[in-house]
Amino acid sequence: MNEANLAEAYFYLGDLTLVATYAARALHQEEVIMRPYCFYILGQIARVQSNFVLAEQRCRQVIAGAEENNDPWALGPAWRALGETYRDGGKHDEARVAFQELLALYQRLGVAAEIRWSQALLDALLPTR
């Protein structure tokens, strides 16, 4: 878990080299339950580097792992990251679907702050033609 946490910390500090190093190490050393989190971090790297195809693949890996582990708390960040990936890649219809999944998840979980944030992400998308 420490390696995965270090990867996330370095992501927010903007050091993508160390992010990739720690995330890769975590994938190989951490328990299986941490794998979706590692893919999440790797997907974030791909997204900020505008590698939207890889970012989408990583997000899908996170969603699959979170569903397999029955972990709704991993699903939230995964759906958000997928929506951000689609949004940043100009796929606004796909982003809307991902953000709607995100909103529905947090409504089921009853997390008011996440519901507001998810709604804001949806509201900020360009209107559908």
The 3 state secondary structure assigned to the chain is CHHHHHHHHHHHHCCHHHHHHHHHHHHHHCCHHHHHHHHHHHHHHHHHCCCHHHHHHHHHHHHHHHHHCCCHHHHHHHHHHHHHHHHHCCCHHHHHHHHHHHHHHHHHHCCHHHHHHHHHHHHHCCCCC
* CATH of residue 56: 1.25.40.10
Would 53 be classed as within a structural domain? yes
Would 129 be classed as within a structural domain? no
Percent of the chain with pLDDT over 90: 58
Q: Which domain holds residue 14?
A: 2-124
Would 74 be classed as within a structural domain? yes
Contact 41, 33 (CB under 8 A): no
pTM: 0.84
**pLDDT given at position 63:** 95
What is the count of structural domains for the chain? Answer: 1
Would 40 be classed as within a structural domain? yes
